[in-house]
Amino acid sequence: MYKVLSDKRTILLLVLPGLLIYTFAILFPIILSVYLGMTDWSGIGRPNFVGLENFKKIIFSDTTFWKSLRNAIFLALAYVFVQHPIALTFAILIDKIGGRAEKIFRTIFFIPCVIPVVVTSRMWVSLYDPQYGLINKILDFLHLGFLKQQWLGDTKTALISVIIICMWQGFGWALLIYYAGLKGIPEELYEAAMIDGATGVKLYTKITVPLLQPVIKVNFTIAIIYALKQMETVYLTTNGGPGDASQFLANYLYIRAFNSYQYGYANAISVLFVIACLAVNILFQKIFKPENYEF
């Protein structure tokens, strides 16, 4: 057996299916994207090679591209600084509550994640509707009529409205990952700290958060990649509008490829998009240096 497994040809043979799938499903499309990004192909007929023209245009004169990237960064920041602290707090509370209530709350918070995005997006479009939408109706009821807005139809509020939907949709995932992380921290650590006189908040800042660091890292990375990739919710609610006020990279790429017949240009955007995702990933690896907490 050892002889067979140490044979290089056998190793190659065993690795080959995976290698082929990786090459054709991941590597080849990326290489093709880089090539098509250097053409002015409309998606119909033959591509015409234009070199780095598309990339130059995107970087130096495409304001919508930068706006889309900026919006994605806003969403990422909203995930990291708003959604995640709330999700972590709720995960701790659910973990603490215990019993049947724990299961009920866990399920309730996870419900938005199992409903298709199309449904939740339509629901939010209705909630935001200025005429019959629940949000404006509640504001009226609370005598806060002056706060009423044309949520998705106004350049000032469209982006924040879309960000709120995205945060609501992804809340369950963030919570679930933190919750699973919390379950992995041994109870004895808290007991030992309490014997040493640690109080409630200190327990969490000194034990929970540091020990959850690997989980936080994974959760942040997922959230940021998700923010950069945001497409469905935007497409279904504002389609990037009004104008390009709530435009996101993936949706913008889609519009260029399928509405403007600029398939080459869209591929160039996709290449820059991949680079942006990689850069964020590397940045995160640097910020969260691996530290081993043993317990």
User: What residues make contact with another protein under the rule CB under 8 A?
Assistant: 42-45, 125, 128-131, 150-155, 158, 237-239, 241-245, 255-263
Smaller CB separation from another protein, 130 or 214:
130
Cα(182)–Cα(185) distance, integer angstroms: 5
Closest approach, Cβ 62 to another protein, in A, equals 11
Cα(94)–Cα(80) distance, integer angstroms: 20
Query: What are residue 39's phi and psi, to 5 degrees?
Result: -125, 170
Answer yes or no: are the C-beta atoms of 280 and 225 closer than 8 Å: yes
Smaller CB separation from another protein, 102 or 129:
129
CA distances from 2 to 17, 51, 263 (A): 21, 51, 51
Closest approach, Cβ 44 to another protein, in A, equals 4
Smaller CB separation from another protein, 173 or 263:
263
Single out the residue of 134, 126, 154, 78 nearest to residue 236, CA to CA: 126
Smaller CB separation from another protein, 47 or 214:
47
Smaller CB separation from another protein, 107 or 260:
260
Cα(171)–Cα(179) distance, integer angstroms: 12
* Residue 70 amino acid letter: R
Answer yes or no: are the C-beta atoms of 207 and 192 closer than 8 Å: no
Smaller CB separation from another protein, 91 or 250:
250
Which run of H or E residues covers position 164?
helix 158-183
Residue with tokens 């706060």, as numbered in its chain: 147
Cα(265)–Cα(50) distance, integer angstroms: 10
Smaller CB separation from another protein, 58 or 223:
58
Helix (H/G/I), strand (E/B), else coil: 49: strand
Closest approach, Cβ 276 to another protein, in A, equals 23
